[in-house]
Amino acid sequence: QKEVEQNSGPLSVPEGAIASLNCTYSDRGSQSFFWYRQYSGKSPELIMFIYSNGDKEDGRFTAQLNKASQYVSLLIRDSQPSDSATYLCAVGLNTGFQKLVFGTGTRLLVSP
């Protein structure tokens, strides 16, 4: 079982729709959760992080965390073609400055 799992996609949504990206993790002691966006040939760009159970909203993005289910999700509202990228879920096992364990990413395609 991989430590961090994501559906590779592609997830195809029309422009203006809500895109829902999901991630599960295996280590119940995980404390910090990050969503990165990576365009092809580019570096990962941090878009959201969440540490507590519940929802966290930032503009068009909402991260959701359920530690009991070991599940993290990212919702993108009003999806735009420019949101087309690979979304990487990353998990920090502990507090502090620990390595991140990455999923293999979900490719999102937003069609005009």
Partner 1 sequence: GEEVAQTPKHLVRGEGQKAKLYCAPIKGHSYVFWYQQVLKNEFKFLISFQNENVFDETGMPKERFSAKCLPNSPCSLEIQATKLEDSAVYFCASSHPTGSSYNEQFFGPGTRLTVL
Q: What minimum distance in Å lies between the beta carbon of 38 and partner 1?
A: 7
The tokens for 14 are 């029309």
With CB under 8 A as the rule, give the number of residues binding partner 1.
Answer: 27
CB of 94 to partner 1, least distance (A): 9
For the bound state, the minimum distance from the C-beta of residue 4 to partner 1, rounded and expressed in Å, comes to 10
88 lies in the site for partner 1, by CB under 8 A: yes
What are the Cα distances from residue 72, in Å, to 27, 38, 44, 45, 112? 13, 18, 18, 18, 27
DSSP string, 38-62: E-TTS--EEEEEE-SSEEEEETTEE
* Contact call for residue 104 and partner 1 (CB under 8 A): yes
Let me know: does 14 contact 110? Beta carbons within 8 Å: yes
- 43 is a contact residue toward partner 1 (CB under 8 A): yes
Residues in contact with partner 1 by the rule CB under 8 A: 8, 31-32, 34, 36, 38, 42-46, 49, 51, 86, 88, 90, 92, 95-102, 104-105
